[in-house]
Amino acid sequence: MAGAQRGIVGAAALMLALTACGGGGGDWTDEDGRPLTLDGSRMLMALPGRLSAPEGWKGRDPEALTGERALDACQDVTASNCAGLAAAGGGRFSSQGGTDQRIRYYVFAFDTVDNASVAMKGTLAEDRGDAGTVRELKVDTGAEAAEAFADTDGDAEVVMRAGAVVIRMQGYEVADEKTLGSFARLQVERVRAAANGRNPDA
C-alpha cells in the first residue's frame, strides 16, 4: 500500500457516519459496566498470530507495546495526542496463495470511549486527508463503530472502535468487502474475548 505507515494515498472523500460500515455489534462493557479495554497482557492475547491464521494465510508473531513506545506508535498512526492510552500492538497475516495479499492490524486501547473516539477520528481525518480517489466500502466488521474505503490500487483501510479500543486494519491488495469483513470480525472478537479475560486461542 502506497505511503506505508500513513495508509492509503490520494483525495479526500466525505466522512460517513461511524456506524455506516457494519458497526454496532454486541455489548461493549464489562460486568461492571465499564467500556471494554485492554492492558499490556490482554493486548497480547487480543492480537492475532500464527495460531489464529485462517486457512490459506500465515500469521506472524504479534507485538504488544506499552509506555513511550506505545505512545509513539499511537501518535504516528492516529495523528492524535493519544490521551488515556493504556496499550498498543500490532499483528499481520500474509497470503500463502502465491500473491502479495496481506492484512495488517494496529490496535490501541484507551481508558475511556471518549479518548478512543478522538483517536479514531484522528486516524480517519489523517487517512482521508491524505487520500486520493477512494471507493467507500460496506464491511460487516461487528465493531461498535467503523468506516472502510479502498483506493484505486486495490488496497483498503478499515478503522474500527470496539468499546475503548481502536483498530486500524489495512488490506494490501485486499479490497473485497467479504474478505475484509472476515478479518475485521476476527480482530474485533479477539478484542472482546481478551478484554473479558479470555484467551481467544484457548
Among 94-98, 162-166, 170-174, 183-187, the range scoring the smallest mean pLDDT is: 94-98
* pLDDT exceeds 50 at position 130: yes
Cell of 44: 497480547
pLDDT for position 69: 95
Pairing status of strand 85-95 against strand 134-136: unpaired
Cα–Cα separations (whole angstroms), residue 153 to 50, 92, 179: 28, 20, 17
Question: pLDDT-derived band of residue 73, with 50, 70 and 90 as boundaries?
Answer: very high
pLDDT in tens, 88-99: 999 999 999 888
Yes or no: is domain 19-195 CATH 3.90.550.10? no
Domain boundaries in the chain?
Answer: 19-195
* pTM score of the predicted model: 0.87
Whole-angstrom distance, CA of residue 71 vs CA of residue 68: 5
